[in-house]
Amino acid sequence: MITAKNLTKRYGKVAALSDVTFTIEAGEAVALWGANGAGKTTTLRCLLGVQGFEGALSVNGIDVQRHSKAARAAIGYVPQEAAFYDMRVDETAQFYARLKKAAPHRAAEVLEQVRAGEHASKRVSMLSGGMKQRLALAVALLADPPVLVLDEPTANLDVKAQRDFIRTIQDLNHAGKTVVFSSHRLDEVIALGTRVLVLSEGKLLLECRPNELASKLGLHRWLRLWIPMSTRTIRCVCSVRTDLQLCPTALASTFKSMRMVRLPRCVRCSRRVSRSKTSELVDGDLMPQGDSHA
């Protein structure tokens, strides 16, 4: 479905990608994982044919360099944050259907497909971030492309919107769409990916299954808790989850203190602690083993 051989992209003397080679089979959901500047977005831009590169790259058997327009027609692209004119949702879908020369009835179909049909009469400016991302996905599906490419699709969404969006992508993948997405979220990669390509400084560092990623990179999941007073709330959490490990103080001030709690791999904390005054429970971060960050 997608084949890259010695994919290289240079900006002057800086190599954003260096001899990256991989193959993605039809029906896979492949994650591009890496830090900022690792080459994830550059790889996606090469796939879309919007920037030049060295090496060979084909999508659905079409050479991206020689036939970029035809290759791009095989891809539905969802950016990290889409921008739309402030029209109604159904008008927006119809507008892009005309641009993509899709059948008129496709506009309503894709809105239902991504569970946005009930918002069809709303103006885009009235949509939540999650619903705007669903609209972007609907637009990407108008021409029924075999490949979906998503650039950190849930980065700007709240937890519920993230889960709903991931569920929609899972449904599309199970229906036969090939999915390629960039991400820095371990839970997203595990939920959605069938394989992970790890990029580092423009090079393909390794390939692995999503559930192997944390152990191969030495990552741990942490839960950050900001407390306005004492450590009582933290100890309350630890009494609920006896498998949590309380780490030393990372930050302290007159008004609040912060503690870092290390969670076993793939553990999710969803239970609220009663009678606590915790100001915020922030989603876990990933850190290399041995590191600690405020």
- More confident site: 177 or 34: 177
Cα separations (Å) of 273 from 221, 270, 279?
20, 10, 12
pLDDT digits (tens, 9 = 90+) for 108-164: 999 999 999 999 999 999 999 999 999 999 999 999 999 999 999 888 888 888 899
Cβ atoms of 33 and 197 within 8 Å: the answer is: yes
Q: What confidence category does residue 255 fall into, taking pLDDT thresholds of 50, 70 and 90?
A: very low
Per-residue model confidence (pLDDT) at position 9: 95
**284 pLDDT above the threshold of 80:** no
- Burial tier of 185 (Cβ tally within 10 Å: 0-12, 13-18, 19+): buried
The pLDDT, as a whole number, for residue 268 is: 44
Superfamily of domain 2-216: P-loop containing nucleotide triphosphate hydrolases (3.40.50.300)
**Chain-wide mean pLDDT for the chain?**
81
Which pLDDT score is estimated for 238?
Answer: 67
User: Can you give the residue ranges of every domain in the chain?
Assistant: 2-216, 219-288
For range 250-262, the mean pLDDT: 39
Report the percentage of the chain scoring pLDDT > 90: 59
Q: How far apart are CA 162 and CA 204, in angstroms?
A: 27
pTM (two decimals): 0.74
**What pLDDT does 196 receive?**
95
Residue 180 pLDDT > 70:
yes
Rounded CA-CA distance 13/85 in Å is 39
